[in-house]
Amino acid sequence: MKRMVTMGMAAVALLAGGCAMWGPKTTADGLRPVKRAFDLTKYGVANPEGLTLHQGDIYFTARNTFIKKPAQIMRITAKDELESVLTFGADVSPLGLAFGPDGNLYVCDNHFADDVWGKSRLLRVSFSDEGKPVSVDVAAAGFNHINAIAMRGGDVYVTETVLARAPNGVTTGAVFKFALADLQQKKPVAVKSAATDPRCLLTITTRNPLVQYSANGLTFDGNGNLFICSFGDGVMWRATFDAKGAVASCKPWVDTRNVAMLSLDGAHYDAQDNVVWVTDLLGNAVASIGVDRPVVQVVARNKVPHDAADGDLDTPADVIRRGDKLYVVNFNLEFGVHKATAHQAVSVIKLK
């Protein structure tokens, strides 16, 4: 996938700035140690991207671009064992994923390139009563850059990272909302990737002309507020809703560049600590963001660029908490100053 990222080492040098401490058992510089949970190379898996937690198991997508194999869905069991769930056909390029209340797994299938728009899809993976995948079909099509997905009630929310790009370098991103029942039709929902589509819930703007990618990770907090990552600006947006479910407000919540983060990619709400965990793909960092107060606390950070040979962060794409551990998937593809390497890993950060 071609990406418009021209950031050089001068911009990355911003990482020399300070970072906040979070909790005990930190390293000398105030950050928590990062360990390798799985060496994906040994499993024939590469380029993990999206994460979701379902019935105690962690699921993630593996695009396998580096090893030139069909993409997969992988699962980390409650016993911390890694197993393959599904191998897709050759035409699938998965990013975010989430289980719906119907028991199906919905997967963002992203085919965006600077010269390829409108070809991305939302897929549905159906399972048997024994938990085995039995079919993959298209639930919606017509997205430019479908990226992350979240569920709330009977509705499905997905980010459209590139809704539009303006000549001045401003990128518009969006969140699309679907009633789950609307995705159960015989034909895929036809999406028009524009603010005029009735399913376009809201839009955000990203003003970084060097990194023209907007709405990325998204997650709901315990009060039903929606948090949306602006990838290129490193800004977290927050949307609130009225009693009828209409958007009451949507505005920037916190700018993570204040703690030297360079981007915001994956996001997952943690009810235990009432924070949103986020990854900084460009800056090789993981942080928490308060949902009641706009406070950013960096918990892990590696040099840029970096190699995940030792399990360290290498273009971390998503993070999710299970128990007292954060699991981080390292995308490990060429992006800006980052180079693809043979070392593919899922990292883990202990919180206690």
Residue 29 is predicted with a pLDDT of 66
Q: What's the pLDDT at 27?
A: 52
Given a contact cutoff of 8 angstroms between Cβ atoms, the answer to whether 55 and 77 are in contact is no
* Cβ pair 155, 170 in contact under 8 A: no
Residues facing 52 on adjacent strands: 59
Cα gap 136→104, rounded to integer Å: 10
Phi and psi, residue 7, nearest 5°: -60, 130
Element (H, E) at 126: strand 120-127
CA distance 338 to 12: 11
* Strand pairing class (171-179; 200-206): antiparallel
Q: Where are the domains of the chain?
A: 9-350
Q: Please provide residue 13's backbone torsions phi and psi, each rounded to the nearest 5 degrees.
A: -60, -15
Distances (CA, A) of 220 to 118, 238, 275: 27, 9, 10
- Number of Cβ within 10 Å of residue 187's Cβ equals 7
CA nearest 273: which of 326, 342, 226, 315? 326
Closest CA to 209 of 160, 167, 174: 167
- The pLDDT assigned to 342 comes to 85
What is the domain class of 9-350 according to CATH?
Answer: mainly beta
How many Å apart are CA 220 and CA 108, to the nearest integer? 18
| Three-class DSSP category at 235 | strand
DSSP 281-347: TTTTEEEEEESSS--EEEEEE--SS--GGGS--SSEEEEEEETTEEEEEE--S-BTTB---S--EEE
3-state secondary structure of 44: coil
**243-287, pLDDT tens digit by residue?**
999 999 999 999 999 999 999 999 999 999 999 999 999 999 999
pLDDT digits (tens), the chain, 352 positions = 334 444 443 344 333 333 333 333 445 567 999 999 999 999 999 999 999 999 999 999 999 999 999 999 999 999 999 999 999 998 999 999 999 999 999 999 999 999 999 999 999 999 999 999 999 999 999 999 999 999 999 999 999 999 999 999 999 999 999 999 999 988 999 999 999 999 999 999 999 999 999 999 999 999 999 999 999 999 999 999 999 999 999 999 999 999 999 999 999 999 999 999 999 999 999 999 999 999 999 999 998 887 777 789 999 999 999 999 999 999 998 888 888 888 899 999 999 9
Instruction: Return the pLDDT at 344.
Output: 94
Answer for the pair 260, 302: CB distance below 8 angstroms, yes or no: no
| DSSP assignments along 154-221, one per residue | TEEEEEEEEEEE-TTS-EEEEEEEEEGGGGGSSSPEEP--STTSTTEEEEEEE--TTB---EEEEEE-
Strand ranges of the sheet holding 235-241, from the earlier edge strand across to the other edge: 215-220, 226-230, 235-241, 247-255
How far is the C-alpha of 175 from the C-alpha of 204, rounded, in Å?
9
What integer pLDDT is reported at residue 231 of this predicted model?
98
